[in-house]
Chain A
Amino acid sequence: MTPTSSSLRRGGRQALTPWMFLLVPLALLVVFSYVPIINMVVYSFTDWDGVSPDYTFTGMENYVEIFTRPELFKVFVASAYYLGAAVVQIVLALYFATVLSFNTRFRNLFKGILFFPYLINGVAIGFVFLYFFQEGGTFDTVLGLFGLGGGQLWLGDPDLVNVSLSGVSVWRFLGLNFVLFLGAIQSISPELYEAAELDGAGRWQQFRFIIAPSLRPLIGLTAILAISGCLSVFEIPYIMTGGAGASETFVIQTIKLAFRFDKTGLASAAAVVLLVIILLVAWLQRRAFPEERVAS
């Protein structure tokens, strides 16, 4: 924007005005975003325990520990389950968004039902599914109705727990993806479908050649959010299993290191590693979808 003549006349005062509006936002940004990030990088090179007044610099020791102690790295196995669940979630969301964008009876009811879980409090969801997966609980009873199931410990078996927990994550977040996809599909001009129908295109062809291409940027954005999301899973496993055993995620481990074992230095290094991975993913996404801006 070019300065108006009046702003040129009152140059000095005018130059200060924007800073008056930015004072509070910038102060909050620096204190609660940048100070923690900078501290985190600094602590990651120290042996600080989070309480002592002083600490010593230990160079790359924390990073070496993270990459050489296999038990610190196994939390990424849990992330893989959530990533797989995210793929299922995006596919299901696409399916339901497409189906409900065409004429359907009780459209708003179905839309509301599919979306509602996204709004529910995370602790409430954790309890709902803790009860759902109990031995002899809802899930076992329903499986029994179909003559299936046989005493699996859905949350106790280390081979099953991440499947159960990432299933809860699909239940919870499907609605958001679905509503975003539905919104994008509905913003496509209806004339396009009419023209396609006149040309004899079926539903699948309409999806393949009209819906899918126009959703491409949104799917790209969703995918990157899914990747950073699966690396920062915390709530559901922490509430449901306490993050014990195989269900421990990267963030739960970092929080435990910092607040239970007083290893602030090591936890900071772990957080830096996570941050670098997420920034890398964001950067790759920008290269893959250069026309899209990541703003959220």
Chain B
Amino acid sequence: MTAVRARVASTLKYLSLIVASVVVLLPLGVVLLTSLKTSDELATGSGPLSPPGDWLNFANYVTAFEKGRMAEAAFNTFVILIVSIVGTVFVGSAAAYAIDRFTFRFKGLVVGLFLLATLVPSITTQVTTFQVIDQLGLFNTRLAPIVLYLGTDIVAIYIFLQFMRSIPVSVDEAAKLDGASAFAIYWKIILPLLKPAIATVVIVKGIAVYNDFYIPFLYMPDQGLGTISTSLFRFKGPFGAHWENISAGTILVIIPTLAVFLMLQRFIYNGLTQGSTK
């Protein structure tokens, strides 16, 4: 009796996992199929689930890459990604170093300011953030998203703070006795020891920046300043009904994500677990 029940339970378990996998993969798979079809194939309407006539028809990808200005988008996204990630690592670790390793006046106030800001979702303040960016003359420059990604990333400071607490203070003090300055301690001792936390911040930040639509959409409407997200979004305008092209563009945007995921799976899982619950 229990053996039968166990078999039924096990069957249901695998069934639910398979159904969930189909629900995840089907919408993506159909877009992949469509991206390989010609516009005639789509028009004759053999249905979205039918395979393409030629599995190696990459013409839509060429159209999407060129007309979607994907090379430019990849360049802009890459520049913004690198500068924001490097900046976040330095800004976050410097703040965490000051807060964790020093006693100073108004320390409670400073910590409180950072803490309170985490509770304010940045999307609610965009109306007035826009005025600030505009007045600084950063509107329609790559610096706008960069400074916003840097300035609003308080989670990174927390990840660094959390990790820095596990580095014994005696390490700093030994260096101090050898005559090292605070800056040298930060640069030569703390930063290298923070490596695992840096990996977490790079992953969490990297995903967020690559996928962000809102900030580049609002602050960089200029044609030449498209990122992966905004270029794909704008590509749909003139190609509104050409789903074979839009599908190709969509797959082009997903491929790098898939590649990074397959390579860094373990780090991504760990990074997210640390980044959002600590």
Residue numbers of A with Cβ under 8 A of B are 1-4, 6, 15, 17-22, 24-26, 28-29, 31-37, 39-40, 43, 50, 95-96, 99-100, 104-105, 110, 112-117, 119-124, 127-129, 131-132, 136-138, 141-142, 171, 176, 179-180, 183-184, 203, 218, 221, 228, 232, 234-235, 239, 251, 254-255, 258-259, 264, 267-268, 271, 274-275, 278-279, 282, 294-296
A180–B278 alpha-carbon span in the complex (Å): 11
B27, B121, B158, B260: the one within 8 Å of A278 (CB): B121
B96-134 vs A: 1/0 string, CB under 8 Å?
011101111101001001100111111111111111100
A142–B48 alpha-carbon span in the complex (Å): 10
Determine whether B268 belongs to the interface, using a CB cutoff of 8 Å to chain A: yes
Give the interface residue-count category, chain B: 35 or more
A35–B147 alpha-carbon span in the complex (Å): 14
Determine whether B246 belongs to the interface, using a CB cutoff of 8 Å to chain A: yes
Residues of A within 8 A of B268 (CB): 119
A127–B114 alpha-carbon span in the complex (Å): 37
**A139 nearest in chain B by CB position:** B27
Q: Are B147 and A137 in contact (CB under 8 A)?
A: no
Task: Beyond the given A183-B269, A254-B127, A271-B127, please list 8 additional residue pairs across the A-B interface where CB-CB is below 8 A.
Answer: A1-B102, A6-B176, A19-B104, A99-B13, A104-B14, A121-B211, A132-B27, A239-B233
Q: Are A40 and B26 in contact (CB under 8 A)?
A: no
Please give me the 7 A-B residue pairs with the lowest Cβ-Cβ distance, nearest first. A32-B151, A28-B151, A25-B95, A18-B102, A21-B98, A183-B273, A18-B98
B53-89 vs A: 1/0 string, CB under 8 Å?
0000000000000000000000000000000000000
Minimal beta-carbon separation of B127 from chain A (angstroms):
4
Q: Are B95 and A268 in contact (CB under 8 A)?
A: no
Residues of A within 8 A of B265 (CB): 112
B31, B148, B169: the one within 8 Å of A32 (CB): B148
Q: Are A17 and B118 in contact (CB under 8 A)?
A: no
Residue numbers of B with Cβ under 8 A of A are 9, 13-14, 16-17, 20-21, 23-28, 30-31, 34, 45, 47-49, 91-92, 94-95, 97-99, 101-105, 107, 110, 113-114, 117-132, 147-148, 150-152, 154-155, 157-158, 169, 173, 176, 182-183, 186, 207, 210-211, 213-214, 218, 228-230, 232-233, 236, 243, 246-247, 249-250, 253-254, 257-258, 260-261, 265, 268-269, 272-273, 275-278
B20, B107, B158: the one within 8 Å of A96 (CB): B20
Interface centre among B157, B186, B249, B269 (most CB of A within 10 A): B269
A116–B29 alpha-carbon span in the complex (Å): 14
Interface centre among A40, A121, A136, A282 (most CB of B within 10 A): A121
- Interface of chain A, main secondary structure: helix
Residues of B within 8 A of A26 (CB): 95, 110, 113
Minimal beta-carbon separation of A88 from chain B (angstroms):
13
Interface centre among A33, A264, A278 (most CB of B within 10 A): A33
A264–B94 alpha-carbon span in the complex (Å): 36
Residues of A within 8 A of B101 (CB): 1, 18
A254–B129 alpha-carbon span in the complex (Å): 14
Q: Are A141 and B128 in contact (CB under 8 A)?
A: no
Residues of A within 8 A of B257 (CB): 119-121
**B28 nearest in chain A by CB position:** A128
Q: Are B213 and A123 in contact (CB under 8 A)?
A: yes
Minimal beta-carbon separation of A289 from chain B (angstroms):
13
A179–B218 alpha-carbon span in the complex (Å): 31
With A3-B103, A32-B129, A141-B49 in contact, do A179 and B273 touch (Cβ < 8 Å)? yes
Residues of A within 8 A of B157 (CB): 25
Q: Are B173 and A21 in contact (CB under 8 A)?
A: no
A1–B100 alpha-carbon span in the complex (Å): 9
**A233 nearest in chain B by CB position:** B123
Residues of B within 8 A of A268 (CB): 127-128
A244–B118 alpha-carbon span in the complex (Å): 31
Residues of B within 8 A of A43 (CB): 127-128
A40, A95, A137, A296: the one within 8 Å of B125 (CB): A40
A40–B122 alpha-carbon span in the complex (Å): 12
Q: Are A179 and B253 in contact (CB under 8 A)?
A: no
Q: Are A296 and B261 in contact (CB under 8 A)?
A: no
Residues of A within 8 A of B97 (CB): 21
Q: Are B124 and A127 in contact (CB under 8 A)?
A: no
9 A-B residue contacts at CB 8 Å? Answer: A18-B104, A33-B125, A33-B152, A34-B117, A36-B129, A39-B128, A112-B261, A119-B207, A296-B118
Minimal beta-carbon separation of A183 from chain B (angstroms):
4
Q: Are A22 and B94 in contact (CB under 8 A)?
A: yes
Residues of B within 8 A of A171 (CB): 23-24, 27
Q: Are A99 and B16 in contact (CB under 8 A)?
A: yes
Minimal beta-carbon separation of A239 from chain B (angstroms):
7
A28–B95 alpha-carbon span in the complex (Å): 11
With A1-B102, A34-B113, A295-B158 in contact, do A127 and B24 touch (Cβ < 8 Å)? no
